[in-house]
């Protein structure tokens, strides 16, 4: 008897499977059977899943006979445990989920937020329906017990530990949900801050409003004439203020340049005096003058 082993093409999206079947020695070697599916899997073919180290994170499932609808990398990524995602991966998944939703897409869009986008109300959760562990068991004093009493105590501790695990898992889930709400609210507040900043830093419109309030006016009336005169005065006052500020800036700039030039002259004069003093000192030393009595620096 000869064994015929067929290994289907490995797909990154599903764990590999090995098909084992037997044929007689006298028979001709048949063509490799197609990948197993609910319709073409023979009864004498055993499915033996072999878990790969690289793809051992997903669940074991039989390969499908349908053609893949996406790339191998996307299939592999869809079967990875979300708890193993990196922080950057989780951030991208969150942004994609918000972008695909109808109520949260504005949080990751480039548009400004408006009053029609209210902040999501908080969801408060509790663990009222979960049985609390028997915390009094850890406060009991050590004492001599019989075998049955010790077994009962161990069983009680084990049961309390199970309840504590359930309680911790529930609280972790609540904390995770609360933190997710904080992330969403933080995105909402950032969008609100951007909108407020855009309104606060908007350039002031200096055009004259001859019809404030949108009410009708008589062009020959005294109020209309006064508004024109006041607008002209404000315009001239703004221009005069701009000229005054510019003149003050030019004056400060000129003064700074004069001080810089004067300081440069002082430095150059000082460097020249130091060089002359060093030359004179070297000359006197060469003539026999003691170094401890050099000439005084000018």
Taking only the tens place, the pLDDT of each residue in 205-217 is 656 565 655 566 5
* Predicted pLDDT at 267: 95
When pLDDT is cut at 50, 70 and 90, the band that residue 274 belongs to is very high
Count CA atoms closer than 13 A to 167's CA, side-chain side.
Answer: 14
Give 75: exposed, middle or buried? Use CB within 10 Å, 0-12, 13-18, 19+.
middle
Whether residue 32 is predicted with pLDDT greater than 70 in this model: the reply is: no
pLDDT at 116: 79
Task: Indicate yes or no: pTM above 0.75.
Answer: no
List the single range of 11-20, 112-121, 219-228 with lowest mean pLDDT.
Answer: 11-20
For residue 269, what pLDDT is reported? 94
| CA distance linking residue 38 with residue 195, whole number of Å | 57
Nearest CA to 15 among 49, 66, 65? 49
Q: Which helix (H) or strand (E) holds 21?
A: strand 17-23
Kindly list the distances between the CA atom of residue 43 and the CA atoms of 18, 31, 223, in Å, as whole numbers in the listed order. Answer: 15, 18, 100
- Mean model confidence pLDDT for the chain: 73
Find out whether 51 and 61 touch, Cβ atoms under 8 Å.
Answer: no
Predicted pLDDT of residue 244: 93
Mean pLDDT of 26-40: 47
Q: What is the pLDDT of residues 93-111, one digit of tens each?
A: 877 887 887 767 777 777 7
């Amino acid at each position: 008897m000869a064994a015929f082993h067929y290994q289907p093409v490995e797909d990154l999206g599903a764990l590999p499977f090995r098909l084992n079947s037997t044929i007689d020695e006298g028979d001709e070697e048949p063509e490799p059977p197609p990948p197993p599916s609910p319709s073409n899997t023979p009864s004498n073919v055993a499915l033996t899943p072999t878990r790969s180290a690289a793809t051992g994170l997903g669940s074991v499932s039989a390969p499908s006979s349908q053609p893949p609808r996406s790339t191998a990398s996307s299939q592999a990524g869809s079967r990875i445990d979300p708890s193993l995602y990196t922080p950057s991966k989780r951030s991208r998944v969150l942004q994609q989920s918000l972008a695909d939703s109808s109520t949260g897409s504005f949080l990751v869009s480039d548009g400004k937020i408006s009053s029609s986008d209210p902040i999501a109300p908080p969801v408060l959760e509790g663990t009222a329906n979960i049985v609390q562990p028997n915390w009094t068991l850890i406060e009991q004093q050590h004492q001599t017990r019989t075998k049955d009493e010790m077994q009962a105590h161990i069983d009680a501790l084990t049961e309390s530990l199970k309840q504590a695990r359930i309680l911790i898992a529930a609280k972790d889930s609540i904390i995770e949900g609360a933190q997710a709400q904080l992330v969403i609210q933080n995105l909402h507040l950032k969008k609100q801050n951007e909108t407020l900043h855009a309104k606060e830093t908007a350039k002031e419109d200096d055009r004259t409003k001859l019809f404030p309030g949108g009410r009708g006016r008589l062009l020959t009336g005294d109020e209309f004439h006064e508004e024109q005169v006041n607008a002209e005065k404000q315009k001239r006052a703004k221009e005069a203020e701009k000229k005054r500020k510019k003149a003050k800036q030019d004056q400060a700039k000129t003064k700074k340049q004069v001080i810089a030039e004067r300081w440069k002259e002082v430095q150059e004069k000082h460097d020249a005096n130091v060089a002359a003093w060093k030359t004179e000192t070297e000359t006197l030393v060469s003539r026999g003058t003691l170094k401890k009595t050099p000439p005084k620096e000018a």
